[in-house]
Amino acid sequence: MPISESLKINEIFYSVQGESTRIGLPTVFIRTTGCPMRCVYCDTAYAFHDGKNYTFEQIFDEIKQYGTKFVTVTGGEPLAQKSCFNFLSELSDLNYEVSLETGGAVSIKNIDPRIKIILDIKTPGSGEVENNDWNNLSLIKSNDEIKIVIKDEKDYEWAKKIIKNKNLVGKGAILLSPVHGEINPELLASWILRDNLPVRLQLQLHKIIWGNKKGV
């Protein structure tokens, strides 16, 4: 394996999927190191710098022990490492059902079409709205997902406009997720119901079960 075929990894762990339409499924998570954004509510800041280099083969050897076909590559921002694009393809070649969680600042243009993309759209409340690569929305497949994290009512109203103005309905599942511990999920649910908004309310199942900690 060429030395360039490696990734800097913060952690690899086995848990139930806490988000997306695959919620609840036993999944191996591969968390990469590094992220170009600094969202104010980030719950994985420990992945900004900490980690060590793994060859692709070392990662494959690590994850095969868990016996699940579901793998999520997350971060940080996985696409900040150029080798991640090849890594995603090789994971798919091994017959894993791979999902990628990306923050939306890096182009998804060259991602293997077999990968299920979970694309964030950053709201004003995140502090990173200016870093959204809006071109990504034209590259979303029907089985991909668009995730918008809501910090407050202003974020919700902004998200409503984006969903309408960018014609997001039908592009993929739209997930609205409240910032854990900052906004009452019941309140977000009431806004969605009031407006009959065609989205899926998403709570972070892993935090409901284990709280806000690493490795879950």
Domain ranges within the chain, ordered by starting residue: 6-210
DSSP structure string for 34-101: --S---TT-S-GGGTT--EEEEHHHHHHHHGGG--SEEEEESS-GGGSTTHHHHHHHHHHTT-EEEEE
Cα three-residue angle 72-75-81, rounded to 5 degrees? 100
Q: Is the dihedral of CA 38, 10, 203, 211 positive or negative?
A: negative
What is the pTM assigned to this prediction?
A: 0.94
Q: Which residues contact 89 (CB under 8 A, 6 or more apart)?
A: 112, 114
What are the tens digits of pLDDT across the range 138-178?
999 999 999 999 999 999 999 999 999 999 999 999 999 99
pLDDT digits over 19-54, tens only?
Answer: 999 999 999 999 999 999 999 999 889 999 999 999
- As a whole number of angstroms, the distance between CA 179 and CA 185 comes to 9
- For residues 47 and 31, the answer to whether their CB atoms sit within 8 Å is yes
pLDDT in tens, 65-97: 999 999 999 999 999 999 999 999 999 999 999
CATH of domain 6-210: 3.20.20.70
pLDDT above 50 (res 102): yes
